[in-house]
Amino acid sequence: MSDHVQTRVSNRTGIITLDRPKALNSLSLDMVRTLTRTLLAWRDDAGVAAVLIRSSSEKALCAGGDIRFFYDVGRATPTGGSALLEDFFTEEYALNHLIHFYPKPYIALMDGVVMGGGMGIAQGGPECGLRIVTDRTKMAMPEVNIGLFPDVGGSHFLSHAPGQLGRYLGLTGLTIGAADALYAGLADVFVPADQLEALNRVIDNSPGDTLDESVRGFAQPYMDRVGESDLAENREAIDTHFVLPTVAEVMASLEKDDSVFAQKALSAMRQRSPLMMCVTGELLARGAKLGVADCLRMERSVVRRNFENGEVLEGVRALVIDKDNAPKWNPATVEEVTPEMVERFFEPVWPDYAHPLRHLA
């Protein structure tokens, strides 16, 4: 069991509280295992009718995976095949699958930072998932900023966002708030942060059998307080620029648009890994045609290739370890990225019968 995950059952609701505040609840392997063990036990427990996941801190639900761990273990095993690293991504992606298809209401309180791996544990399936955002929500899939790609099911939930919103979020890695999350279909209801204490009373007093309905009812009066969506306001520009087939073409199109929105997107992309933006573009194109399980299997292979390549190690070094904010991306520009470089990331690592996520349905 992890010291950073608290679990209890109250009034037929299983409550998971992430409690690693100094690391913004970044997921360790022990945390992933505790979450998986708990959800599997509650899935088959007639005494648990619904599950709620939240944080002990208002700063973050979860900022992602423990990237310092990725760096330390990845550097120790240059081929990307460290047993600990292999276990982490295999078990994290299996957890994402479990959450997506959880048969009981799975409610995620996405207060504060929700990024990367945090999105993977919050994006429950459409049948039973309920995603709550607040005015403190800071949501992103920022992996291209550290030389990674939008994983934890991102190839599915980003590629299925309306229009080109998912491609915009995946390629820029920019952060959005509550209104944009709702507009992009990455959240369901809004509750102001100053009403969370009242929401918690509703959660404590509602039986798990009706918790989903009670939370939706509580949130309904506040939906008109969420504010305007920047994504909605700029939807035409997003769909115009990000529909172009290559990252180089997207950036060239943005260069011709002198709007503040377009220039902000372009500025962000100029800081990201050119190679991993191109890989992300291909990932989302493929993910749009796949189900959740196949998306996760694809991501599992791509992440192995990512660590073999080493781009992610350079990204984490620059932004987290040395903090010089000057990653030496290879290649340095999108024009230098070839189709062969991108295709290499999608070459099978294992035969189908040996894939570590082969059992996902």
CB-count burial class (<10 Å; 0-12, 13-18, 19+) for 236: exposed
SS3 call for 54:
strand
Give the span between the Cα atoms of 296 and 33, in whole angstroms: 18
Tokens of 189: 């209801």
Is residue 117 flagged as an active site residue? yes
Asked whether the beta carbons of 311 and 329 are under 8 A apart, the reply is: yes
Is residue 185 flagged as an active site residue? no
Is residue 65 flagged as an active site residue? yes
Asked whether the beta carbons of 116 and 157 are under 8 A apart, the reply is: no
Please pick, among 65, 120, 147, 281, the residue that the annotation labels catalytic: 65
Please pick, among 117, 120, 129, 208, the residue that the annotation labels catalytic: 117
Nearest to 355 by CA among 296, 290, 287: 296
Amino acid at site 85: L
Please pick, among 86, 111, 151, 188, the residue that the annotation labels catalytic: 151
Backbone angles phi, psi at 63, to 5 degrees: -85, 0
Please pick, among 135, 143, 212, 282, the residue that the annotation labels catalytic: 143
- Measure Cα distances from 212 to 181, 207, 215 in Å: 19, 10, 5
Amino acid at site 124: G
Is residue 143 flagged as an active site residue? yes
Q: Which residues are catalytic?
A: 65, 117, 143, 151
